[in-house]
């Protein structure tokens, strides 16, 4: 099987153009008519459908990819490689657990429901399938992706790269092929989530108690969950979580599931996600199936004001140099993603220099009027998980638009060099591994020269 050329790999690594991910199945019915699907690739017991390739191609184009046969062939080649990784993972007894797959699938379905902007009924009409069918197809894709990733980690485990290798990698890139980066910035934050008062918590528990009374009186659980629950998955599962084992849920949720009897509806209880009422449907050994309704308590203006006062006091200490911003972030920030980096926003490789286009718009507009080295006053905002919070921003520096160089872009170049080294290792592995699996591709794609 022919792998992409080093030059092409380098282009994809540097510009990060090609990312094969999990996507919703392409709708079988289009407004212009029906297009028959077919198998275009078979690798052991795994298949590649034309609709999968077309779906990946459309995602690639929508993310700024270049149209054309070469791009489609590159995507098809990557799909074949991914299937070989999965097939070899099974031969080599590499596994991912059902619990890991189920949790990942639930998270992805929640994201789909949140980001699509459509109701469950609209999604079902669009794809001509029930939400449960969509979820099952998604689960199969996610399982394969996780197996492939685990196999790839096994192949490249322990691989590292030296500074000398990074410099050699950089020196071999033609000057006219070096990427040009727009303005970069280094920005950090300290986040303080509003601590919800007892009065706000009491109000939510009262609402859940009222819903519990309705359920005890015979109300339909799924209907109430879809109407009132703040768990996005309730829109397609009616609040039913399916069988899970110990450790799958947060401690208070799991403890309640093992405390109440089958059919019993719990009193309102609190978890890190908010307040719940739960009904235990069934329990078998260390597994259980339950359904719940989730409502989050909303902080009051006074709760937010306390968070603002805390950060305002902390900001004054930072400005007076009584404490460094990075140290304060590690000690006091409630944002788990940034506090370990001293509060700094990072790219996917852990680098602290961010392209302006990758910054949250609200962060960008705040620092746009700030001088380098300054710390903003407390700003009220809503976190990615929908929590009311306050933050202060530290605008460390701005780097002007520039062509990639070792001084300013070491972390990016190091990441690209390591990726290329992994690709070379995978290429050697692949040349040998393809002898252990059956590969048959549709003649329609012979121009891609994947099996040459």
Encode pLDDT of 336-358 as tens digits: 999 999 999 998 878 899 888 88
Q: Is the pLDDT of residue 12 over 50?
A: no
Cβ neighbourhood burial of 389 (10 Å; 0-12, 13-18, 19+): buried
- In this prediction, residues 207-228 reach a mean pLDDT of 96
Nearest to 275 by CA among 192, 195, 207: 207
Nearest to 13 by CA among 349, 340, 324, 285: 349
Q: How far apart are CA 396 and CA 405, in angstroms?
A: 20
Are residues 117 and 46 part of one domain?
A: yes
Angle, in degrees to the nearest 10, between helices 198-216 and 221-228 = 150
Q: Is the pLDDT of residue 2 over 70?
A: no
What pLDDT does 309 receive? 97
pLDDT band at 36 (very low <50, low <70, confident <90, very high): low
Q: Is the pLDDT of residue 92 over 80?
A: yes
* C-alpha dihedral, 400 to 403 to 409 to 412, nearest 10°: 120
Name, of 103-107, 111-115, 306-310, the range with top average pLDDT. Answer: 306-310
Indicate whether 308 belongs to any domain: yes
- In this prediction, residues 307-320 reach a mean pLDDT of 97
Indicate whether 345 belongs to any domain: yes
Are residues 341 and 290 part of one domain?
A: no
| Helix, strand and coil in the chain, % to nearest 5 | 50, 15, 30
Indicate whether 64 belongs to any domain: yes
pLDDT band at 326 (very low <50, low <70, confident <90, very high): very high
Indicate whether 163 belongs to any domain: yes
**How many folded domains does the chain comprise?**
3
Domain C-terminal end among 262, 295, 328:
295
Maximum CA extent, the chain: 74
Are residues 11 and 150 part of one domain?
A: yes
Q: Is the pLDDT of residue 167 over 60?
A: yes
Q: How far apart are CA 8 and CA 63, in angstroms?
A: 18
Mean pLDDT of the chain: 87
Under 8 Å between Cβ of 326 and 343: yes
Which of 119-123, 150-154, 191-195 has the lowest average pLDDT? 119-123
Indicate whether 1 belongs to any domain: no
Q: Is the pLDDT of residue 256 over 90?
A: yes
Are residues 153 and 14 part of one domain?
A: yes
pLDDT band at 118 (very low <50, low <70, confident <90, very high): low
Q: Is the pLDDT of residue 116 over 80?
A: no
Domain boundaries, position 228: 198-295
Are residues 338 and 413 part of one domain?
A: no
Are residues 240 and 143 part of one domain?
A: no
Are residues 254 and 279 part of one domain?
A: yes
Q: Is the pLDDT of residue 3 over 50?
A: no
Domain C-terminal end among 271, 295, 319:
295
pLDDT band at 303 (very low <50, low <70, confident <90, very high): very high
Q: How far apart are CA 11 and CA 71, in angstroms?
A: 12
Are residues 383 and 346 part of one domain?
A: yes
Are residues 269 and 128 part of one domain?
A: no
| CATH number (domain holding residue 428) | 1.10.4030.10
Name which residue leads in pLDDT, 350 or 151: 151
Domain C-terminal end among 295, 315, 349:
295
Nearest to 183 by CA among 380, 19, 452, 367: 367
Indicate whether 213 belongs to any domain: yes
Nearest to 41 by CA among 66, 6, 9, 75: 75
User: Each residue of 69-79: pLDDT tens digit?
Assistant: 999 999 998 89
Stated length of the chain: 452
Are residues 226 and 162 part of one domain?
A: no
What pLDDT does 220 receive? 96
Q: How far apart are CA 193 and CA 333, in angstroms?
A: 9
Cβ neighbourhood burial of 441 (10 Å; 0-12, 13-18, 19+): buried
Indicate whether 236 belongs to any domain: yes
**DSSP result, 288-329:** EEEEEEEEPPPP-HHHHHHHHHHHHHHHHHHHTTSS-HHHHH
Which of 102-116, 333-347, 352-366 has the lowest average pLDDT? 102-116
Percent of the chain with pLDDT over 90: 55
As a whole number of Å, the CA-based R_g of the chain is 26
User: Each residue of 284-301: pLDDT tens digit?
Assistant: 988 999 999 999 888 889
Are residues 34 and 147 part of one domain?
A: yes
Under 8 Å between Cβ of 393 and 367: yes
User: HSE of 287 in the Cβ direction (CA atoms, 13 Å)?
Assistant: 8
Specify the pTM.
0.65
What pLDDT does 14 receive? 31
Distant-in-sequence, close-in-space partners of 91: CB < 8 Å, separation ≥ 6: 436, 437
Q: Region of 347 please: left (phi>0), alpha (psi -120 to 50) or beta.
A: beta
| CATH number (domain holding residue 227) | 3.10.50.40
């Amino acid at each position: 099987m022919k792998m992409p050329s080093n030059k092409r790999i380098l282009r994809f690594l540097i510009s990060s153009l090609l990312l094969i991910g999990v996507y919703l199945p392409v709708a079988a019915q289009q407004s212009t008519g029906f297009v028959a699907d077919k198998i275009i690739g078979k690798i052991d017991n795994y298949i590649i459908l034309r609709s999968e390739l077309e779906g990946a191609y459309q995602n690639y184009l929508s993310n700024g990819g270049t149209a054309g046969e070469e791009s489609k062939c590159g995507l098809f080649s990557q799909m074949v490689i991914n299937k070989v990784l999965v097939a070899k993972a099974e031969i080599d007894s590499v596994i991912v657990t059902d619990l890991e797959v189920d949790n990942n699938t639930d998270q992805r379905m929640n994201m789909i429901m949140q980001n699509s902007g459509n109701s469950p009924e609209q999604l079902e009409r669009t794809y001509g399938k029930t939400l449960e069918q969509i979820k099952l197809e998604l689960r199969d894709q996610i399982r394969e992706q996780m197996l492939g990733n685990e196999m790839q980690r096994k192949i490249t485990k322990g691989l590292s790269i030296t500074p000398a290798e990074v410099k050699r990698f950089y020196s071999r890139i033609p000057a006219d092929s070096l990427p040009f980066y727009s303005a970069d910035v280094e920005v950090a934050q300290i986040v303080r989530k509003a601590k919800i008062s007892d009065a706000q918590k009491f109000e939510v528990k009262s609402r859940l108690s009222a819903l519990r009374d309705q359920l005890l009186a015979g109300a339909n659980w799924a209907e109430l969950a879809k109407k009132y629950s703040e768990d996005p998955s309730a829109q397609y599962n009616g609040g039913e979580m399916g069988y899970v084992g110990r450790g799958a849920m947060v401690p208070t949720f799991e403890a309640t599931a093992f405390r109440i009897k089958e059919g019993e509806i719990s009193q309102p209880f609190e978890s890190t996600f908010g307040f719940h009422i739960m009904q235990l449907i069934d329990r078998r050994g260390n597994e259980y199936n339950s359904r719940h309704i989730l409502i989050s308590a909303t902080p009051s203006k006074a709760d937010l004001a306390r968070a603002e006062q805390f950060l305002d006091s902390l900001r004054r200490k930072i400005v007076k140099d009584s404490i460094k911003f990075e140290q304060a972030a590690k000690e006091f920030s409630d944002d788990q993603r940034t506090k370990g980096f001293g509060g700094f926003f990072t790219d996917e490789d852990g680098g602290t220099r961010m392209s302006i286009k990758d910054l949250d718009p609200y962060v960008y507009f705040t620092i746009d009027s700030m001088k380098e080295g300054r710390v903003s006053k407390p700003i009220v905002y809503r976190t990615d998980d929908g929590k009311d919070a306050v933050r202060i921003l530290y605008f460390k520096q701005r780097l002007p638009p520039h062509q990639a160089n070792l001084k300013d872009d070491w972390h990016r170049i190091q990441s690209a060099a390591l990726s290329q080294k992994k690709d070379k290792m995978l290429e050697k592995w692949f040349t040998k591994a393809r002898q252990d699996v059956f590969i048959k591709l549709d003649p329609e794609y012979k121009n891609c020269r994947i099996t040459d």
